[in-house]
Amino acid sequence: MKIYNTLTKTKEEFKPRDPAGKKVQMFVCGPTVYDHSHIGHARTYVFFDVVAKYLRYRGYKVTYLMNITDIEDRIIDRAQRDGKSVKELVRIFEKSFLEDTKALKIDSVNKYTRATGYIKQIVKQVETLLEKGHAYKIDGDGYYFDLSTFPDYGKLAHRTANQAEDAISRIDESVNKKNKGDFTLWKFSKPNEPSWKSSLGTGRPGWHIEDTAITDYHFGSQYDLHGGAVDLVFPHHEAEIAQQESASGKKPFVKYWLHPGFLTVKEQKMSKSLGNFITIKDALKNYSPETIRFMVLSNYYRSPLDYNDSVVNQSQAAVQRIAEFIQKLSLANGNNDFEISDYRRKFEEAMDDDFNTARVIALIFDLTRKVNSMLVDNSLNRNSAKKIRKFLQNINSVLGIIPAKQEKIPDSITKLIQKREELRQENNYEEADKIRAQIEDRGYQVDDTVYGSLVTKK
Ligand SMILES: [Zn+2]
């Protein structure tokens, strides 16, 4: 099995660190809980859900840890704006995030951690960095990581420490820093900010230190797989490497780094000011979780993905086709075998090739086309139908794209849809449009997609 590793910029053979080759330790950066999660988050977390599930399908024993950032500048800002305490605010959005992941059937995470639950470990790691000469104190400000002590800085993002200053956030700003890109490890708190008393002084953690303190505690100083959205590569993940490799002296901190690409909305970066900010809750009002998952997985994870009406409608139609196909399989009663083993092999080959779910989806539709023709002339036997269904369930246990129950479309509507398809194939669009009007009169809507007609209740 091969995985594209951001660190080496190549597809590498996947070999976990465990000498027996069984256990896999996996960590993904969760959200900073100052707002509802958006569909960009859905992309990231659905993808890593599939990664964990496929590794388990492959027989690995995966421990999947996700951290939720519950202390950060944006949280403090919003709490002050909303007149809430930081604690109140983060609980609201943490709950919202967990609701969203549940709704999206993201259920592979073994443990969610909160940054503020690990202050002791964070302080300990900062102390280690101080002892080893990788950190320094600025009076009245906080502790910073000294980038001049870590020549490897930039190896993940493939840039240099001198290019670091373009990506620092407010918390890392100080005129007294030794190097431009030095980042905060521990910040002395201003009045009205949450703070913790510690041997470092009263303050709060910087953004990057929480993840390494948490993984060091649960996994040790080195582990297998670290993921997060591509915008976290620099400086966040780069900083994690600097911290952990400096603290432990061991390299590499993480063996495989995975970063799914951006999600845009109608070809634009999602932002509140552009009015194209779509939360997971918004998306789930209109579309099923399977549709959202399908949309995410129909694309290779490292490529950019655009969220727009056509893409989601297509995904909805595709999910409908797969569900219909499975229903039709139960009617099989013919005499001929269908050999599924080839498809199983191709499924694993595609997933083994850097989780190429887009290829898996193409494979599913190749299968439905071939089997459909056997269902039409009722030549498929029951045993083969059972095996095909089992195969699709196996795929579904990894991808989660088949709805448990399908909205029932009345037979009268299904007949009209078929009639309309026939007319369209005969290029008789005038009559086809009349049928469409009849369908709409009965409260249904029909849209045409690359996966055939999409029927929904109006
Ligand atoms: Zn993180």
Are 175 and 317 contained in the same domain? Answer: no
List per-residue pLDDT tens for the chain, 458 residues long.
Answer: 999 999 999 999 999 999 999 999 999 999 999 999 999 999 999 999 999 999 999 999 999 999 999 999 999 999 999 999 999 999 999 999 999 999 999 999 999 999 999 999 999 999 999 999 999 999 999 999 999 999 999 899 887 655 555 555 666 778 889 988 899 999 998 888 999 999 999 999 999 999 999 999 999 999 999 999 999 999 999 999 999 999 999 999 999 999 999 999 999 998 888 888 999 999 999 999 999 999 999 999 999 999 999 999 999 999 999 998 998 898 899 999 999 999 999 999 999 999 999 999 999 999 999 999 999 899 999 999 999 999 999 999 999 999 887 777 888 888 898 899 899 989 999 999 999 999 999 999 888 888 878 888 88
| CA 307 to ligand 1 centroid distance, Å | 25
Are 220 and 333 contained in the same domain? Answer: no
Are 92 and 159 contained in the same domain? Answer: yes
**Number of domains making up the chain:** 3
Are 228 and 363 contained in the same domain? Answer: no
| CA 409 to ligand 1 centroid distance, Å | 45
Are 359 and 417 contained in the same domain? Answer: no
| CA 357 to ligand 1 centroid distance, Å | 25
In a domain, 300, yes or no: no
| CA 27 to ligand 1 centroid distance, Å | 9
| CA 44 to ligand 1 centroid distance, Å | 13
Are 326 and 431 contained in the same domain? Answer: no
* Cβ 62 vs Cβ 49: under 8 Å: no
Are 424 and 395 contained in the same domain? Answer: no
Q: What is the pLDDT of residue 455?
A: 84
In a domain, 165, yes or no: yes
Is 155 annotated as belonging to a binding site? no
Are 85 and 193 contained in the same domain? Answer: yes
In a domain, 294, yes or no: no
| CA 211 to ligand 1 centroid distance, Å | 5
Angle at alpha carbon of residue 90, lines to 212 and 307, rounded to 5°: 85
Looking at this protein, which amino acid is placed at residue 198? S
Residue 449 belongs to domain spanning: 411-457
In a domain, 436, yes or no: yes
| CA 29 to ligand 1 centroid distance, Å | 4
- Which residue shows structure tokens 């009639």? 419
Contacts for 8 with CB less than 8 Å, ≥ 6 apart: none
Are 323 and 206 contained in the same domain? Answer: no
Are 340 and 368 contained in the same domain? Answer: yes
Nearest to 221 by CA among 250, 191, 194: 250
In a domain, 225, yes or no: yes
Question: 206, 231, 263: which is the final residue of a domain?
Answer: 263
Give the whole-angstrom CA distance, residue 171 versus residue 176.
13
In a domain, 206, yes or no: yes
